[in-house]
Amino acid sequence: MKKAQAIYQNGSHRWVAIVRDPDKPSYLIDTNEYVVTSGAESLLADPGGMEIFPAVFSAVSRELDPRSIRYIFASHQDPDIISSLALWLEFNPQLRCYLSWLWASFIPHFGGNDQTFVAIPDEGMKIPLGAIELVAVPAHYLHSSGNFHIYDPHARVYFSDDVGAALLPPEDDMLFVNDFDRHIRFMEGFHRRWMGSNEAKNNWCERVSRLKIDMLCPQHGAIFRGADVGRFIDWFAGLKVGLDGNAAVGKRG
Ligand SMILES: [Fe+2]
Ligand SMILES: [Fe+2]
């Protein structure tokens, strides 16, 4: 069963992380889902794969009324991000799904119709939610060619999707990073291989280092908070990714 845990609360403004499912089959990658609420409205960021829909739905329902979820946000097109879309739409056909314009004719293969999708332009956009406004921050080529993160300037929470992801062994299965240096071993290979462009990475690090962020929340692994947010951005800025970071892959075929 997945755990739902509030990571930020100020009145009706809340972030809930849906994390870790020890009952999940080991052939599926473990994912984190996040729900942001303001007043009567909630947005579900990266709802996850269709296989884990029942676990996510019941974890969400323990923390909030799932009927408050008006919006889904898909950071990119991967199956572990958004293949549960049709099941969420079955629960509420009125849901709107924010996604990159680039994927607006691809993700409907998972479900939805011409009323479902809100296409985000490359430069990003504001996403109104209850009394607050979230920001869709461009993260193209990190790793998808049309990729967005969410910044909540009120809560100072940044949802970073696959950036900051770590593949944690069961014995290191914590909610928050507690030893940054040790954590590197769980994220280095993932970032080298999945992140496609050093130029995109450096541009992202430069932009995001200027934001005020208390928590950086990835879609896999543990959440960075406090000084570890800056530590992660500095570490990522210095990492070689894509073909530069994977000589063996570059030489093949
Ligand atoms: Fe991905
Ligand atoms: Fe992912």
Predicted confidence band of residue 173 (pLDDT cuts 50, 70, 90)? confident
Asked if residue 248 has pLDDT above 90, the reply is: no
Average of per-residue pLDDT values in the chain = 95
Residues 6 or more apart in contact with residue 66 via CB below 8 angstroms: 57, 60, 91, 92
Give me the residues near ligand 2 (ion), CB cutoff below 5 Å. Answer: 80, 162, 219
CA of 178 to the centre of ligand 1 (A): 24
Q: What's 108's DSSP letter?
A: G
**CA–CA distance, 102 with 100 (Å, rounded to integer):** 5
CA of 190 to the centre of ligand 2 (A): 10
CA of 210 to the centre of ligand 1 (A): 25
**CA–CA distance, 203 with 194 (Å, rounded to integer):** 17
What's the token pair of residue 72? Answer: 């889904």
Q: What is the pLDDT of residue 39?
A: 97
**Comparing C-alpha atoms, which of 67, 53, 59, 150 is closest to residue 111?**
53
Residues 6 or more apart in contact with residue 72 via CB below 8 angstroms: 43, 44, 47, 82, 85, 88, 95, 96, 97, 98
Asked if residue 156 has pLDDT above 80, the reply is: yes
Please state whether beta strands 157-161 and 215-218 pair in parallel, antiparallel, or not at all (unpaired): parallel
Single pTM value for the model: 0.96
CA of 100 to the centre of ligand 1 (A): 14
CA of 199 to the centre of ligand 1 (A): 19
| Residue 226 and residue 220 in contact, taking contact as beta carbons nearer than 8 Å | no
Residue with tokens 């992660």: 232
**CA–CA distance, 181 with 70 (Å, rounded to integer):** 39
Q: What is the pLDDT of residue 249?
A: 74
**Residue-wise pLDDT tens digits, 103-152:** 999 999 999 999 999 999 999 999 999 999 999 999 999 999 999 999 99
CA of 11 to the centre of ligand 2 (A): 31
CA of 131 to the centre of ligand 1 (A): 30
CA of 75 to the centre of ligand 1 (A): 8
**CA–CA distance, 50 with 167 (Å, rounded to integer):** 20
What's the token pair of residue 53? Answer: 């829909």
Asked if residue 251 has pLDDT above 60, the reply is: no
CA of 91 to the centre of ligand 2 (A): 24
| Residue 42 and residue 64 in contact, taking contact as beta carbons nearer than 8 Å | yes
Angle between helices 180-194 and 227-238 (to 10 degrees): 40
**Comparing C-alpha atoms, which of 37, 39, 44, 47 is closest to residue 14?**
37
**Residue-wise pLDDT tens digits, 48-78:** 999 999 999 999 999 999 999 999 999 999 9
CA of 162 to the centre of ligand 1 (A): 6
32-49: average pLDDT: 98
